[in-house]
Structure 1
Amino acid sequence: MKKVILFSRNDLVNLYGGIGQHLIGAINIVHLAYSKEEEQILRERYNVVDIINFKGEISQLIGQEQIDLDLIHQIDQLIIDQTNNRFCLNSCIQSDRTFANMDYNEILILVQVYYKFWNNLIEKLRFDCLLHEPVALFFLQIASVICKKHGAEYLTQIQVFGETKYNWIFVSADSGFSIEMPKALAEIDSSDEDKHKRAEKFLDNFRKDFELILPELASKDRNSGTANVFGFWLKIIKTIAKHIFNKRENKQEGSDPENALERYLSRNKSRLSDRLKNLWDEQFYLRYDNFDPNKDYYYYPMHMEPEAVVLYWGDGIYKNQIKLIENIAAQLPPNSFLYVKVHPIVKEERHFIDYKRVRAIPNVKLLGSAVSGKLIISQCKGLLTINGTSGFEAVLLNKPVYVFGNSFYDLSNRVFKIKNIRDLREVLYQNHNQVLKDDESLYRFVLAYLQISHPGYTAYYSNYRELLKIGHNKNVEEVSIGIKEYFT
């Protein structure tokens, strides 16, 4: 029987608490709670008895910790080896936004403590898999590195398009690569008529309209000519109220190094004047361009920040999306434009100056989130992305995809991996007039993808599930079936 650690942090506690109940007897489940809050929910709501408290364990370890340079060098080499040279210790540190403005020695202490925690845990429990959200912070990346060292998996579930309303697949939490896709592709026989029809049906269903995907989660464009003024002032009031609430809540958090994440959140939410000015500028000064499908154009959909795809799945290189956009625009063929679309889900408000910089680039047009991404893709010369799901949409719409990071659709022959921005111009020029059509390779890729996808909703972040009106009990039962299939 496989031993799987379910690491509950924030809203994931409800997903993992629920599926843990359905997997009893099929998988050996170990519950790891991020803090006392998640531990309490697991005990009271899901009747879990044995729980490891992550922050509690870290607090005990950190008290007596001193910097050990030999251990630091050992950790550095381990990261280099286990990430195949994608990262070293310092690039990991730079990718963790919670380490910003922390003392370097404090960071090294935390590095050692996180390493010791995960190394001790896997040596003690000998688990087969850690299941959690994508790597977005160092304490998760070092978990991934140590899992690889010991032959365990660190997996995450991401929402994808499928044959039911909500679907998910397993990917490597460290890179976003689908670990099941190579085997699935090797085993697919697309010459089977029924399978061929299945692929065609999936593609037809995906292409039947160009409506926004999950419009319930999309933020509204704030242009002074179209935005509701009452809605704007309501946003201002909510921002102030949330600031006051968070300030009170964060006073309860200590200043110890193990509270780095909480201190980051506190700092980020304390700049009330900056946030209000940003909202004002976006409302009254930001202008979006009109979408013209008749232009010769490429498409770059902006990624949500902070997010794993920008920080870790992009190998820590593409943290500055604005600079990446400038570099892409500079490589385009003459008389070609780059449409840049604002991400429909805003996790943290982007600075207004970023949008000004984008609009200042002569061959770039800035689009609001209300424009359908699928519509933009349908007429583009190619899509450029670090590794977002829009790249997968482009694959299904027969468009070349230029990927700077790592993604679950890497194995499609529609995807071109760009390792260096200086290599982009040559491949863009080569493919500029290329027209892709449905072929055997696309059908094989689609069938392999459908084989590894599972029904259910796993994006238990913020209040997304509530906004989509997804029933919790039925959903966790459905998700549990896919997990059981994978591990048994």
Structure 2
Amino acid sequence: ASLEGRPFVYYPLHTEPETALQSLSPEYFYQHSCIAALSRDLPAGVMLAVKETYEAVGRRPTDFYGQLADFKNVVILDSMELGLEVVNRANAVATITGTGGFEAAVMGKPVVTFGCHNQYNFLDHVHVIEDEGELARALRTALADDAVNDTTRRDGARFLAATLASSFDLSGLGHLNVESLEGSAVELSFDALCASVRAGSETHQGGQA
């Protein structure tokens, strides 16, 4: 099935096993079950676009993608397609703990997440699923015509600004080249860690006062 001219929810697959999945969402990390639930509860005419991350190619059971393709409203995307571009086109993003959820959240796009501990879960346009009985309603809300508006865009932009303000530049470090970390970045990381510990200690002491 084609996505051309059709509304769709984007689900970027997580690499497995992965700390960002099993450790950050110990309550729920069953991706096949998650996709099946989304497929079941999506409104008629809305597609679910699933994309594999290139790091996971060849790591899943041979029948995994075939089982997903059996769902009539699921489309498997090219794993080399840029996820951010898919987020831009999607009506909403569904995830457990994936980066795609963060990207949609800062854009002001609706997110349906099965992970209870994401940093962006407090945003009003992020719908946290703690019970699958809540899923159908969350999807309807996320896909409403006014789901993306000035308020969601403003809230997303403010969250991104806060994230950047509490971050620091690691001078070109990439997961494909861990040797690229510069000495100055180590010092910067250490200073940021110390500042964070001090801030946490002051907050804790203030709460006890």
Q: Residue 437 of structure 1 is aligned with which of 111, 127, 149?
A: 149
Distance 1:485 1:347, change over 3 A: farther
Alpha-carbon distance, 1:380 to partner? 1.4
2:161 aligned with 1:447: yes
On the 8 A contact 1:296/1:336 being kept in 2, the answer is yes
Residues 30-81 of structure 1: CA deviation (Å, up to 9, x unaligned): xxxxxxxxxxxxxxxxxxxxxxxxxxxxxxxxxxxxxxxxxxxxxxxxxxxx
2:12 aligned with 1:301: yes
Distance 1:388 1:446, change over 3 A: same
Distance 1:402 1:315, change over 3 A: same
Q: What amino acid does structure 2 have at the position aligned with 1:465?
A: N
Counterpart of 1:407 in structure 2 is 118
Question: 1:314 is paired with a residue of what secondary structure?
Answer: coil
Residues 427-452 of structure 1: CA deviation (Å, up to 9, x unaligned): 21233223423444334323322222
Residue segments in structure 2 that go unaligned for 5+ positions in a row: 199-209
Q: What amino acid does structure 2 have at the position aligned with 1:436?
A: V
Distance 1:480 1:438, change over 3 A: farther
On the 8 A contact 2:28/2:114 being kept in 1, the answer is no
Q: Residue 56 of structure 2 is aligned with which of 322, 346, 351?
A: 346
Alpha-carbon distance, 1:349 to partner? 0.9
Q: What amino acid does structure 2 have at the position aligned with 1:404?
A: F
Residue segments in structure 1 that go unaligned for 5+ positions in a row: 1-288
Question: 1:366 is paired with a residue of what secondary structure?
Answer: strand
Alpha-carbon distance, 1:299 to partner? 0.7
Alpha-carbon distance, 1:482 to partner? 1.9
**Where in structure 2 are the equivalents of 1:405-484 lying within 5 Å?**
405=115, 406-432=117-143, 433-439=145-151, 440-456=154-170, 464-466=176-178, 470-484=180-194
Counterpart of 1:366 in structure 2 is 76
Which whole-Å CA distance do the structure 1 matches of 2:34 and 2:194 have between them?
Answer: 41
Distance 1:293 1:408, change over 3 A: farther
Alpha-carbon distance, 1:293 to partner? 4.8
Which whole-Å CA distance do the structure 2 matches of 1:307 and 1:338 have between them?
Answer: 23
Alpha-carbon distance, 1:459 to partner? 8.1
In the superposition, the TM-score normalised over structure 1's length comes to 0.37
Which whole-Å CA distance do the structure 1 matches of 2:172 and 2:17 have between them?
Answer: 19
Residue identity (%): 24
Q: What amino acid does structure 1 have at the position aligned with 2:15?
A: M
Bigger Rg, structure 1 or 2: 1
On the 8 A contact 1:297/1:338 being kept in 2, the answer is yes
Q: What amino acid does structure 1 have at the position aligned with 2:35?
A: I
Alpha-carbon distance, 1:472 to partner? 4.0
Alpha-carbon distance, 1:312 to partner? 3.0
2:92 aligned with 1:382: yes
Question: 2:56 is paired with a residue of what secondary structure?
Answer: coil
